[in-house]
Amino acid sequence: MSVLDIAKGMGVTLSHLFKKPVTVSYPEQKVDIKARFRGRHHLLRHPNGLEKCIGCSLCAAACPAYCIYVEAAENDPANPTSPGERYAKIYEINMLRCIFCGFCEEACPTGAVVLGHEFELADFKYKDFTYGKDDMLVGTVGSKWQRREADRLEKPVELGFKAGQRVELEGVDY
Amino acid sequence: MNDALLVTFVKALALCVVLLGAFAYMTVIERKLLGRMQHRYGPNRVGPFGLMQPIADAIKSIFKEDIVVSASDRFVYFLAPFISIVFALSAFGAIPAGPAGSLFGFNPWIVDLDIGLLYVFAATSIGVYGIFLAGWSSNSKYSLLGGLRSSAQMISYELGLGLSALTIILIAGTLNLREIVDFGVWSLSPLLWLPLAVSFVTYVISSVAEVNRTPFDLPEAEQEIVAGYLTEYSSIKWALFQMAEYVNMMTAAAFISTLFLGGWRGPEALNALVPGVAEWPFIWLLLKMAIFMFLFIWLRATLPRFRYDQLMRFGWIWLFEIALFSALVTGAIIAFAL
């Protein structure tokens, strides 16, 4: 370590003193999330309003953490929930067990379950971490706690991030 | 009670309060500067711009559980932080901060010692005992290693420190800090500028080692020996060591300014703009101190830590010899050329 090297290093630190910090002051400032970020799952619908999920349980089979539970039921031909023969009567994901690997998304033959950008999933009770269809279908914004808090304050859910659009997230609007 | 004694007492008390307040805000300034140099904000949660951070830290330190190691040497274990902080605070007293009578008619120094320079050296050296005893009395291998490193390091660097200061003593011909400032060491002869500059550099480097700052912070090398002598200390006793470290930094900064940069005197050239501005008390000393405090923080943000053998080699082979040589050259110039 010569004196010149030290001087050079001191110059570097001094120049960085006048640069803008890269820290995102998270709750006040929104996090800039990349489009392919894997957060909370969304259950998508076809443009005609039918659910994409056909209740095949491939996602549950692919899941390395065994956090998905699907119970299928026959569609009512007069008033179908999904375009196939069957639909998911119950679709639950335990967000505490989920490792957000995205294997469910890869396994899904219809592109029904897609990992979105929401990451603020903290809550107080174990049971509140089991997300059902109501919590994940398109149109539901925010985690369970965020929605409870929004109800209490009578304000819309405020998400702590901004993200680029992702084509797989059909119909999801952040 | 004697009036002079009372005045000294009040001034000493005020100095302690000022130094401890300055310590509190130095921690914030240091963390902010380090943060900005690393593209972070640093503390900004408590109060506006994080300015209340030291108060939060103080409350936290005081109310944290004070763990006393059961295998420790109790008396020495309690004594060590007090030795550190008491001698750190008392070292500052001899440093003059302005011309005589400029502090509301009083003198802006606590004591005007004829051996002021030796006194500061002595007091800062006794501070080593605090660290060494802390390491020994904790009865922990990390603490002992930290204490050992600290004492070995400080003893080695005191040589460089003393020999660099010898240049000043030779030129000014006095140990009284006030007289050294009045003498103006750079004004004697241009021949002495080179040895003075060399002494200045060696003195600053030795000072960094003396106050245990990066790159010479081996006594508290977190990676190898946890926190060195601080390992077994918690709560307010830990805070006292931190206080001692920062007060030592400030003393070192003030002492460098006093010895080499004209202490409380400002640049004479400014007297043409504002008459008497170079004689204003406190401002110039504080400004010079601030520059060195920034240097200490800047060094910490930049340099990695020395290995122990590198540190000892640097101290004994380079710093000691260079300082010795510069003192010899100064002596020769004064004896034969002036």
According to the model, what pLDDT value does residue B218 have? 73
Residues of B in CB contact (< 8 Å) with A are 33, 35-41, 298-299, 301-303
Q: Sign of the C-alpha dihedral, residues B308, B311, B315, B317?
A: positive
Contacting residues of B for A5, CB less than 8 Å apart: none
According to the model, what pLDDT value does residue B269 have? 74
C-alpha distances in Å from residue B47, one per residue of A68, A132, B51, B311: 45, 42, 6, 41
- Least confident span in A120-124, B195-199, B309-313: B309-313
- State the Cα–Cα distance between residues B159 and B209, nearest whole angstrom: 11
B41 Cα to chain A: minimum distance (Å)? 6
Burial class (CB in 10 A: 0-12, 13-18, 19+), A145: middle
According to the model, what pLDDT value does residue A174 have? 66
Say if B196 falls within a structural domain: yes
Mean per-residue pLDDT, A95-119: 91
Say if B10 falls within a structural domain: no
What's the pLDDT band for B270 if we cut at 50, 70, 90? confident
- State the Cα–Cα distance between residues A69 and A93, nearest whole angstrom: 6
The yes-or-no verdict on residue B175 having pLDDT over 90 is: no
Say if B45 falls within a structural domain: no
A10 Cα to chain B: minimum distance (Å)? 6
Q: Which of B36, B41, B303 shows the shortest C-beta gap to A17?
A: B36
Say if B43 falls within a structural domain: no
Optimal mutation site among A13, A20, A24, interface B, most CBs of chain B within 10 A: A13
**Is the Cβ pair A17, B37 closer than 8 Å?**
yes
- State the Cα–Cα distance between residues A172 and A174, nearest whole angstrom: 7
**Of the candidates B81, B78, B98, B77, which has an alpha carbon nearest to the alpha carbon of residue B89?**
B81
What's the pLDDT band for A107 if we cut at 50, 70, 90? very high
Q: Count CA atoms within 13 Å of residue B224 on its CB side.
A: 13
SS3 content of chain A, % helix, strand, coil (to 5): 25, 20, 55
Mean per-residue pLDDT, B60-79: 85
**Is the Cβ pair A21, B299 closer than 8 Å?**
no
Q: What is the pLDDT of residues A30-79, one digit of tens each?
A: 888 888 888 889 999 888 888 899 999 999 999 999 999 999 999 888 88
Q: Which residue has the higher pLDDT, B147 or A170?
A: B147
Is A67 annotated as belonging to a binding site? no
Q: Which residue has the higher pLDDT, B228 or B9?
A: B9
Say if B42 falls within a structural domain: no
**Is the Cβ pair B303, A14 closer than 8 Å?**
no
Q: How many separate domains does chain B show?
A: 1
Structure tokens at B266: 């400002």
The yes-or-no verdict on residue A1 having pLDDT over 90 is: no
Mean per-residue pLDDT, A151-157: 89
The yes-or-no verdict on residue B214 having pLDDT over 60 is: yes
Say if B197 falls within a structural domain: yes
According to the model, what pLDDT value does residue A67 have? 92
Q: What is chain A's mean pLDDT, rounded?
A: 88
- State the Cα–Cα distance between residues A43 and B168, nearest whole angstrom: 79
Q: What is chain B's mean pLDDT, rounded?
A: 84
Is A53 annotated as belonging to a binding site? yes
Mean per-residue pLDDT, B271-297: 83
- State the Cα–Cα distance between residues B115 and B137, nearest whole angstrom: 33
Question: Which domains does chain A carry?
Answer: 24-163 (3.30.70.3270)
Instruction: Say what the alpha-carbon torsion angle B142, B143, B148, B150 is, to the nearest 10 degrees.
Output: 110
- The boundaries of the domain holding residue B268 are 67-336
Question: What is the 3 state secondary structure string of A7-57?
Answer: HHHHHHHHHHHCCCCCCCCCCCCCEEECCCCCCCEEECECCCCCECCCCCC
Q: How many CB pairs under 8 A join A and B?
A: 34
Q: What is the pLDDT of residues B108-167, one digit of tens each?
A: 777 788 888 888 888 888 888 888 888 888 888 888 888 888 878 877 888 888 888 888
Say if B4 falls within a structural domain: no
Contacting residues of A for B322, CB less than 8 Å apart: none
- Least confident span in B46-55, B234-243, B264-273: B264-273
Q: Which residue has the higher pLDDT, B109 or A87?
A: A87
Q: What is the DSSP letter of B307?
A: P
**Is the Cβ pair A21, B33 closer than 8 Å?**
no
Contacting residues of B for A25, CB less than 8 Å apart: 41
Mean per-residue pLDDT, B177-190: 80
Nearest chain B alpha carbon to A10: B302
Respond yes or no on whether the N-terminal peptide bond of residue B215 is cis (omega within 30° of 0): yes
Say if B134 falls within a structural domain: yes
According to the model, what pLDDT value does residue A97 have? 93
- State the Cα–Cα distance between residues A133 and A140, nearest whole angstrom: 10
Is A59 annotated as belonging to a binding site? yes
According to the model, what pLDDT value does residue B1 have? 54
